Structure 1
Amino acid sequence: MMDLKDIEEVYFIGIGGIGMSSIARYFTTIGVKVSGYDKTPSALTATLEEEGISIHFGEAAMDKIPPASPGLLIVFTPAVPSDFAERIHVDNGDYVVLKRAQVLGIISRATNCVAIAGTHGKTTTTTMTAHLMTVAGLEPKAFLGGISRNFNSNYVHGTSDWVVVEADEYDRSFLQLDPTIAVILSADPDHLDIYGDHATMLEEGFRAFAKRIIPGGQLLVRHEIAHLFSDLGDVLLSSFGIGAGDFCAQNIHVRDGCFYFDLHEPDGHMVIDLRTELPGRHNVENAVAACAVTRLSGGSEADIRRGLATFKGISRRFEKVFDDGKLVIIDDYAHHPTELNAAINAARELYPGKVIRGVFQPHLFSRTQDFAGGFAEALDQLDQAILIPIYPAREKPLPGVTSQLVFNKMKADKKRLFSNGQMLEWAKKLNEGVLLLLGAGDIDALIGEIAKYHKNYPPHGSQ
């Protein structure tokens, strides 16, 4: 395994991914030469190029890969198929080749690492924690799974030995980390293509991750699942939650479009009337976790109050992209039934009395197969639901697995199955209510077209 001080140049295969690009940005900030490949250009790759990183797109190009040398590191993401020509070339050459997760482990190992895990909420909580710790003067580095609207980046270049990372359970990536403080927000069934079943996911995933906390370190776990981690030995275990837990949100209420709550701390101290602009009670719980980490790492009551009040959120996490007083369009990354429920419930709470419509793009054939019933049950809560084709990402099609599978399980009457083009034409005709655009695939490109249309050409009539 390479030492950080020996790395002189890094080449990324799949540099445009949200996790890969944050590490690429880290290396450029410490003066290491960075270049890479990605399948297609995006807003994120354009930003990386503006920051001085050379990127090529489309087909494999072995002549773009730097020649093997002792100071060269090749980094790849599992999202790139193993039979991709550049992967084959470096795997068979005299290169040091590491997964993104291994590199993140190397970077974080020499630091006080805050690692935030969970099947839901980790990007929001990681980003919020990085912001609160920055406001507290703790100056962490941070590797984020989304674009922070405070930092306008998915990487924060702090100057201290604190680092905040999103600990991803996919491909057991988080088992590369050795945290000082770890958070487990949730451990619902997901990525069963990797783990096989929920019990294995808990034991070989989340419990194995918790066992990697350094001796004497801290583990914060959502109250409802804290009992699963009560036997870890030399780790300080605390729980958090709403109405229960060592760190606990109480007296939650909505005022002037924001959520307010009191934070009860383990010693009985109460931090009164904290405010967050993030929607939904699930985000109040995420805020409790972020506040707990910040307090445990040295932040003050005033720091968490100021940090929460100034936190702007993350792109594609319940992000309002259009609002003319009649029609509200919200972009959300939700791609699991629990996340769909959270987004829909947040919209109901923030926009009482409005018609709530939703467009859902399922993400991955395997996830659609595993959770078709849960997706259908969540989407049935909408006043009108639109399903568009599955975004396959890294996967090949599975027989019989399409958006129709979810559609057929839905019980609600007001549901439609559209192509992307049909959905765009339908969305342009809306002029009232709330439109949720939901999914972790390329639905964000469609969102931009819808929002631009409504900003420039107010539609007539509605459906």
Structure 2
Amino acid sequence: MHFTSDWKYIYFVGIGGIGMSALARWFNTNGFSVAGYDRTPTTLTDSLEQENISVHFEDDVAHIPSGFLVDPTQTLVVYTPAVPANHQQMAYFRANGFTIQKRSQVLGWLTRNLRTIGVAGTHGKTTTSSMVAHLLRNAGINCTAFLGGITQNYGTNFLLNSPTETPEDIVCVVEADEFDRSFLTLYPDLAIVTSTDADHLDIYGEHDAVLESFRAYVKQIKPGGSLIMKRGLPVADSATADVQEYSLHEGDYHSRNLRIENARFVFDIVYPGGVIDHIAMQIPGYHNVENALAATAVALRVGVSPDQIRHGLHTYRGVKRRFEYILESRSKVFIDDYAHHPAEVEAFLSSVRALYPGRHLTAVFQPHLFTRTRDFADGFGQSLSLADRLLLLDIYPAREQPIEGVTSAMLLEKVSILDKSIVSKEELLEKLLNLDTDIVVTIGAGDIDKLVLPIKEVLVTPFTN
């Protein structure tokens, strides 16, 4: 971590992002002056400001604290690829000789001297990385973690290690993001790959390019390191050392005696050295059983005991917006999930079905990105048809401009169930108030999270027709 002595000020363009805010917290905790810009206030930016980090929301150089601009050699600028090309502050930094790095590059620098566990995958990496971090923290291992979601156990996306004179003794858990090939700045000791489905095709163009990126990531595992991957993924070759596989029912790590008790998944973990019996997890879902297998594999290699793993999985409470129970009573259940790819939507809805057989399921879905909706329309149509009723919101554009012909109406035609409709965000609450609902789920990666608490209020209102 010697590079950090070169900087006094760290400025973040896009500081409110989940990964950017974790990095900002690391620098702030370690004695640097930290400030940043983001487009809109959020609960994340509120938290940063409470930690005495200066955040502003106008793209104007005048809002940057003066100390950050005095000497370009003392200020490191960190940015997210989502920042538009015409951003005024970025133009100023470029024109005045500041050192500018992507978040992924800075994270690569930070982790180079630490024992690093990199968790990659088109789905499952946030839950799995936070699960690994919890298993280590629960076992008393000195670890730091940069996560892509807010852990329910710790209320943050960043865990800070205890001070030490020997950084190489710290275990660092990193969510390794394939977007924009960011994970290629990492050189992990232990790597998990959960999935390699086609995604981010606006960046990659085709699925083969996604796979090539994952293969390149795997090749960056440090000598003597290990790869733990979902069974059957085409990312390892004969030169990849120490590869072990996991899946629900087969592989070096798999489950047995999998069952549902009191709306929770209970199972044993079979691993090469034995069995960890009676795992009863607080977070449901077949996909989360697999995530637990991957987390167990790396935890055992770091020195966590089977009993500590059982206790850690018992006490792991999940991540905000990943199968998050908002309301749970005998008459009404409301779950919120971040799923934004057909495979994620299918895994989520299939697990809800398994937990609550025979009950009526209303899904509220907000598509994320025009390109993703276009590229996976058939898959979304199939996965969303697992619901009994679908309320479909407009597409959340994020960084994209509209694409002609790519609309929620186009997507709705792909859904085979009869009880389906397009609803605006403004109409949704009244619509739900006048529907007889049983199980309600909200799904999506856009701004649908802002509707979660208002929906909860509607659902607890006595039903009136």
1:242 and 2:248 matched: yes
Matched, 1:194 2:203: yes
Any residues of structure 2 matched to 1:63-74 within 5 Å, and which?
63-64=63-64, 66-67=68-69, 68-74=71-77
Q: Which residue of 2 aligns with 1:207?
A: 215
Letter in 2 for 1:189: A
The answer to whether the Cα contact below 8 Å between 2:265 and 2:281 also exists between their aligned partners in 1 is yes
Instruction: Give the Cα–Cα distance (whole angstroms) in 2 for the partners of residues 161 and 25 of structure 1.
Output: 17
The question of 1:129 aligning with 2:132 is answered yes
**Which AA in structure 2 matches 1:199?**
D
Structure 1 equivalent of residue 166 of structure 2:
none
Task: List aligned pairs for 1:104-119, cutoff 5 A.
Answer: 104-119=107-122
Pairing 1:83–2:86 present: yes
Matched, 1:216 2:221: no
Between the aligned partners of 1:237 and 1:356, the Cα distance in structure 2 is 40
Quote the residue 1:262 is aligned against.
268
Deviations 1:361-398 (A, max 9, x none): 00111111110110011111110011101111111111
CA–CA distance in 1 between the matches of 2:432 and 2:19?
31
Q: How many percent identity over aligned positions?
A: 43
Kindly report the root-mean-square deviation, in angstroms, between the aligned alpha carbons of the 2 structures: 1.5
> Per-residue CA shift, 1:164-211, capped at 9, x if unaligned?
0100000000000000000000000001111111112111x1000000
**Distance in 2 separating the partners of 1:63 and 1:158:** 32
CA distance in 1, matches of 2:99, 2:35: 15
- Amino acid aligned to 1:191: H
The normalised TM-score by structure 2 is: 0.95
Alignment correspondent of 2:307: 302
| Letter of the structure 2 residue corresponding to residue 116 of structure 1 | V
Deviates more, 1:31-40 or 1:316-325: 316-325
Q: Residue 194 of structure 1: SS of its match in structure 2?
A: helix
Equivalent residue of 2:247, what SS? strand
2:407 is aligned to 402
- Structure 1 residues 369, 2: CA separation in 2 closer, same or farther (over 3 Å shift)? farther
How far 1:359 sits from its partner (Å)?
0.7
Is 1:148 matched up with 2:155?
A: no
Provide the C-alpha distance between the structure 2 equivalents of 1:208 and 1:110, rounded to a whole number of angstroms.
20
Letter of the aligned partner of 1:349 in structure 2?
A: A
* 2:239 corresponding residue in structure 1: 232
**Aligned residue number for residue 364 of structure 1:** 369
Unaligned segments of structure 2, at least 5 residues: 163-168
- For residues 436 and 410 of structure 2, what CA distance do their matches in structure 1 show? 30
Which amino acid in 2 is paired with 1:180? D
Q: How do 1:284-299 residues align onto structure 2 when only pairs under 5 Å count?
A: 284-299=289-304
Q: Distance in 1 between matches of 2:53 and 2:435?
A: 41
Change (3 A) 1:232 1:430: farther
- Report deviation, 1:63: 4.3
Q: Distance in 1 between matches of 2:187 and 2:437?
A: 49
Check 1:2–1:415 CA distance in 2 against 1; reply closer, same or farther (3 A cut): farther
State whether structure 2 residue 274 is matched by structure 1 residue 274: no
1:264-284 per-position Cα deviation (integer Å, ceiling 9, x unaligned): 1123x1111112121111110
2:27 corresponding residue in structure 1? 27
2:446 is the alignment partner of 1:448: no
- Output the CA distance in 2 between the equivalents of 1:228 and 1:46: 40
Out of 364, 382, 389, the position equivalent to 2:387 is 382
Residue 177 (structure 1) aligned with residue 186 (structure 2):
yes
Structure 1 runs not aligned, ≥5 long: none
Q: Secondary structure at the match of 2:432?
A: helix
Paired with 1:184 and 1:193, the residues of 2 have a C-alpha distance of: 21
User: Partner amino acid for 2:384?
Assistant: L
1:55 aligns with 2:55: yes
TM superposition score normalised by structure 1: 0.96
Tell me the SS of whatever aligns to 1:229. Answer: coil
**Per-residue deviation, 1:59:** 3.6
Q: Using the alignment, how far apart are the partners of 2:128 and 2:135 within structure 1?
A: 10
What SS does structure 2 have at the residue aligned with 1:132?
helix
Q: Is the 8 A contact 1:18 1:146 kept in 2?
A: yes
The alpha-carbon deviation at position 431 of structure 1 amounts to: 5.0
SS in 1 for 2:199: coil
Aligned to 1:43: 43
Q: Shift in Å at residue 2 of structure 1? A: 8.5
Q: Is the 8 A contact 2:59 2:87 kept in 1?
A: no
Match of 1:434 in 2: 439
